[in-house]
Amino acid sequence: MNHLEEKFVSRKEIFDGKVLHVVCDTIELPNGKEATREICLHNGAVAVIPVLPDGRVIMERQYRYAHGAVMLEIPAGKLDSADEIPLEAAARELREETGALAGKMTYLGELVASPALVSEVIHLYLAEDLTFGERELDEDEFLDVEYIPLSELKEMVMRGEIPDGKTQIAVLKASEILKNR
């Protein structure tokens, strides 16, 4: 597939923030012409679908400023650094946001939600054999935890009631995995 590759020529820094680093790269197209690509560089993230033995999932409702709405999502968070181990970050986020500790974590794969603009890769996990302790929310983190049956979440995804992509994918993958056990 080398005939589709674009080659890096140079980079201009646009913005360096707490979460996003925006750059404008000059690239060489497969036909030899130059073009630019504005992209957001991101360390990556994790998302966890925690499923209880009775089939309920620990979900979160959180206000998402970029969309001006409260959204229903699975627990998730960004990697603290590019070299943080995703499994460790997933366990941390699950504990901090819900108080849950997983006895078993199954890797569900990677999600690249916006490949044309953002380098973020979200690592998805299914968490089972849960025990509970105290939540440790970040000081700027406000969310409500609720328990919803996985079967109901799947129906909500299929009806278009859950717009969050990582939640959609995790619900569908977890449903299939648990159905086939």
Catalytic (active-site) positions: 139
Q: Could you tell me which residues come within 8 angstroms of residue 172 by beta carbon, excluding any fewer than 6 positions away?
A: 154, 157
Burial environment of residue 144 by CB neighbours within 10 A (0 to 12, 13 to 18, 19 or more): exposed
Residue 101 to residue 93: CA distance in whole angstroms: 10
User: Is residue 161 helix, strand or coil?
Assistant: coil
Q: How many CB atoms lie within 10 A of CB 128?
A: 17
Backbone angles phi, psi at 30, to 5 degrees: -55, -25
Question: Bridge-partner residues for 113, per DSSP?
Answer: none
